Structure 1
Amino acid sequence: MKRYISKLKDFNELVMFEHSIFSLPFIFIAMIVAADGWFGFTLLILGVFAAVSARNFAMGLNRFADRDIDALNPRTASRPNVDGRLDPFSIIIFTAVNALVFIGVAYMINPLAFALSFPILFILGSYSYFKRFSSLAHIVLGVSLGLAPIAGVVAVSAEITPWSVMLSLGVIFWVAGFDLLYSLQDMDFDKERGLHSIPSKYGSQTTLLLSLFFHLLTIVFWALFVWIAELGTYAYTAVLLSAVMLGYEHFLVRKDFTKIDRAFFTVNGYLGIVFFILIVLDKAV
């Protein structure tokens, strides 16, 4: 039993399950707005399974593809895909199982969700290889998480609405913006190994400015989401607080690069939760 528990902990460390906090709130935000309130326990359960399996697939494939790179980077050399705790075959099986779970859950939701599950998995999987030939990897990661609101509204109403596109675009630039900040940690390593990232190609100052621009776009698109969806004061407050939190994130990183982890995990984690709570309040009131 201890062996199985230990192995589960290794897989948890592999995919960093707690990082699901970045996408889950925006899936449920889309579902709440699409349903004009509570969308039911069935969709709640299916939504969680879809989100978690999709992310596990993406992270599992990423760890499999990056095991040679991770082994050379001091920051990632202790990951389970590198230090021998999880062999490549186990990671592939884990990844494949999660892909099948995602497709199965999508089939149970509705035909459009099922049809979209295949291109979604392709996009999620492509991120793992992009940084080997293009600096657009940051945008691809943003698109990967930006699909979450689209998936949420498709699950409820089997359509893609204009406001959900605005919400998704906001998520895309939010994620791409904080990934730029996070990738500053590997700027020198990426440059040495010939990996493509905006920090390694253009330097830290350009990266900071581009991240700030992306986050300004985030606020614009989220404000458009609230306006097009005809939401109220609490929703606009969510956008305003998001702007404040993103501003604080940039303040932390510009002040001290050692604060990147705090900015990445703490600020962005709370942002999604706060946004979700305020949208719930907006619909409730």
Structure 2
Amino acid sequence: MKRYISKLRDFNELVMFEHSIFSLPFIFIAMIVAADGWFGFWLLILGVFAAVSARNFAMGLNRFADRDIDALNPRTASRPNVDGRLDASSIMIFTVVNALVFVAVAYMINPLAFALSFPILGVLGSYSYFKRFSSLAHIVLGLSLGLAPIAGVVAVSAEITPWSVMLSLGVIFWVAGFDLLYSLQDMEFDKEKGLHSIPSMYGSEATLLLSSLFHILTIIFWALFVWVAELNFFAYLAVLFSTVMLGYEHYLVRKDFTKIDRAFFTVNGYLGVVFFFLIIFDKVLL
């Protein structure tokens, strides 16, 4: 039993399950708005399984593809995919199983969700290889998480609405913006190994500027989401709160690059959760 628990911990560390906090709130925000309130326990269960399996697939493939890179980087050399705790076969089986679970859950939701499940897996999987030849990897990561609100509205109403596109665009630039900040940690390593990150190609100042621009676009698109979806006070408050949090994130990183982990995990985690609860208040109280 201890052995199995240990393996579960290794897989949890491999995919960093707690980072689901970045995508889950925006799936459920889209579902709440699409349903104009509570969307039911069945869709809640399917939504959780879809989100978790999709993310596990993406992270599993990423860790499989990055075994050689992670082994050379001091920051990542202790990950389970390179220190011997999980072998390549185990990681690939884990990845394939999660892909199958995602497709099966999409099939149970509705035909459109099932049809979209295959291209979604293609986008999620492509990120793992992009940084080897293109600095657009940051945008691809943003797109991977930005598909979450689209998936949420498709699950509820089997359509893609204009407001869900605005919400998704906001998520794309939000994620791409904080991934730019996160990748500052590996700027010198990426430069040395010829990896195509924006920090390694254009430097820290250009990266900080582009990240700021992306986060300005984030706020614009989220404000458009609130307006197009005809939401109310708490939704606008969510956009205002996000503006403050993103500003604080940039303040932390510009002040001290060693604060990047705090900016990445803590600030963005709170942003998604608070945004989610404010949308609930908006739909329940107004």
State whether TM-score is above 0.5: yes
Unpaired runs of 5+ residues, structure 2, are none
Q: Is 1:33 aligned to 2:33, yes or no?
A: yes
* Distance in 1 between residues matched to 2:93 and 2:273, nearest whole Å: 32
Amino acid at match of 2:280: V
What is aligned with 1:135?
A: 135
What is aligned with 2:123?
A: 123
Tell me by how many angstroms 1:135 deviates: 0.1
Q: Is 1:58 aligned to 2:58, yes or no?
A: yes
* Distance in 2 between residues matched to 1:39 and 1:94, nearest whole Å: 30
TM-score, normalising length: structure 2: 1.00
What is aligned with 1:186?
A: 186
Kindly report structure 1 stretches of 4+ aligned residues shifted beyond 3 Å: none
Tell me by how many angstroms 1:18 deviates: 0.1
Tell me by how many angstroms 1:104 deviates: 0.1
Query: May I ask how many residue pairs the two structures share in their alignment?
Result: 285
Unpaired runs of 5+ residues, structure 1, are none
What is aligned with 1:95?
A: 95
Tell me by how many angstroms 1:141 deviates: 0.0
Q: Alignment partner of 2:133: what SS?
A: coil
Amino acid at match of 2:157: S
Q: Is 1:153 aligned to 2:153, yes or no?
A: yes
Tell me by how many angstroms 1:183 deviates: 0.0
* Distance in 2 between residues matched to 1:124 and 1:189, nearest whole Å: 24
* Distance in 1 between residues matched to 2:81 and 2:160, nearest whole Å: 37
Amino acid at match of 1:239: V
Overall identity of the aligned pairs, in %: 88
Deviation digits for residues 158-179 of structure 1 (CA, Å, limit 9, x no counterpart): 0000000000000000000000
Tell me by how many angstroms 1:146 deviates: 0.0
Amino acid at match of 1:119: P
What is aligned with 2:279?
A: 279
What is aligned with 1:211?
A: 211
Tell me by how many angstroms 1:238 deviates: 0.2
Q: Alignment partner of 1:86: what SS?
A: coil
Tell me by how many angstroms 1:196 deviates: 0.3
Tell me by how many angstroms 1:234 deviates: 0.3
* Distance in 1 between residues matched to 2:197 and 2:94, nearest whole Å: 28
Tell me by how many angstroms 1:261 deviates: 0.1
* Distance in 2 between residues matched to 1:274 and 1:41, nearest whole Å: 22
* Distance in 2 between residues matched to 1:194 and 1:271, nearest whole Å: 33
Tell me by how many angstroms 1:193 deviates: 0.2
* Distance in 1 between residues matched to 2:42 and 2:52, nearest whole Å: 16
What is aligned with 1:82?
A: 82
Deviation digits for residues 63-102 of structure 1 (CA, Å, limit 9, x no counterpart): 0000000000000000000000000000000000000000
What is aligned with 1:269?
A: 269
Amino acid at match of 2:204: S
What is aligned with 1:107?
A: 107
Amino acid at match of 2:167: L
